[in-house]
Amino acid sequence: MKSVLLYYPFQLAENANSGSKLRPKKIYSAFKEWGQMNGIEILLLSGHSTERSIQFEKWMAEGKLDNLLFCYMENQTIPFWLTDPGHIPKKPFIDSKVMKFLKKKNVPTGVFYRDVYWKFDELYPLKGLKKSVMQSIYRLEEKFYEKYCKVIFLPSDAMGRYVNISKEKVALPPGGAAEETHERAAKKEQSVSNGLYVGGINNEDYGLFLLLDALKIANKEEKVCDLTVVCREDEYSKLPEDKKQRLSDLHVSVKHISGKALNELYAEMDFAFIPRYKSTYNDFSVPVKLVEYLSNELPVVATNCEAQKDIIETDQYGIICDDNPVSMAEAITQMSVEANLYRSNIQATFNAKHSWMARVEKIKESLLEEDL
């Protein structure tokens, strides 16, 4: 039986409460569905280095790795050698052993290279000698991928200019899932739309208070939009009183919900916001919230950060504005009128182009020269 190897040199998180933890699980789930559809066995090699070593040797002895079509690997935000507890690998050579085996067998391998925040002084928190040592390890990781991988998958095309790996680079942003969509209640004509912001509120870079400035302008003459903010309760409790007052003055509804309650809220909303300030890093990163909004058929008002702009504008999933209050206020006013138009675009193409299954198909197409 033909098979595909998923190589995750880390322990899968039980509680996937962030994009970096959720993505490997979603990809694995989509691969299993894809494998069932195509009669292909999906082999997941993950866990701590000792666990990976034991499993790899077992599969080698059983011949389970004899008919591999390709291998898909994911990394984390720390170099894969350091993902064991305490950041000390008990089996430091297992990753090289796996990759050497794949290369000897001519198994095409691709890695999802998650982040390059360590290349930006304003983002990377380490200082002095620790910083120099860690950056050297990151550079060794890039060389490792260059030696063993055919394709480097990235969150966006824009990130490619910061990745020093001389191999083919393919954009593989976060995906959405058809099962996350749901029936939206039919709405009567309404003069005031419902906008949603889900995310962090403790960092100016996230743009919540830029959004509040824009909302105040948009609603100045006549109210066009009500805003609901969903955030972590501890972040809200630590918010300065003057900022809490700004939320109150604009009659913003603040909620601390997740799971089913959040899904139900999505169904009540007309559109959503990603108001991040434009920066070098934000230009190439793709927020997981973007595909979560789109999975729930919510058009998006977003700032002109390059990667998110590309996804939204390519298929007309929302409105792009500059990262200033006046431009965003204009976008809010426009979206309040045109949300249904953008929602119809999402319904027409999103699942086909941006589901996790579509991401699996993209991986397969990039690594195999011939179709199955």
For residue 59, count other CB atoms closer than 10 A to its CB: 16
Task: Quickly tell me which residue has 């501890």 as its tokens.
Answer: 234
Residue 55, token pair as written in the block: 């499993």
**30: pLDDT strictly greater than 70:** yes
- DSSP sequence for 313-327: HHTT-EEEE-SSHHH
Residue 201, token pair as written in the block: 């509120």
Question: Residue 134 and residue 371: Cα distance in Å, rounded?
Answer: 40
Question: Residue 240 and residue 238: Cα distance in Å, rounded?
Answer: 6
Question: Residue 330 and residue 320: Cα distance in Å, rounded?
Answer: 10
3-state SS, residue 32? helix
The mean of the pLDDT values for the chain is: 93
Q: Which pLDDT tens digit goes with each residue over 253-284?
A: 999 999 899 999 999 999 999 999 999 999 99
Task: Using pLDDT thresholds of 50, 70 and 90, give the confidence band for residue 231.
Answer: very high
Which of 351, 363, 271 is CA-nearest to residue 318?
271
Q: Which pLDDT tens digit goes with each residue over 154-169?
A: 999 999 999 999 999 9
Question: Residue 4 and residue 224: Cα distance in Å, rounded?
Answer: 51
3-state SS, residue 158? helix
Q: Which pLDDT tens digit goes with each residue over 173-204?
A: 999 865 444 555 555 456 799 999 999 999 99
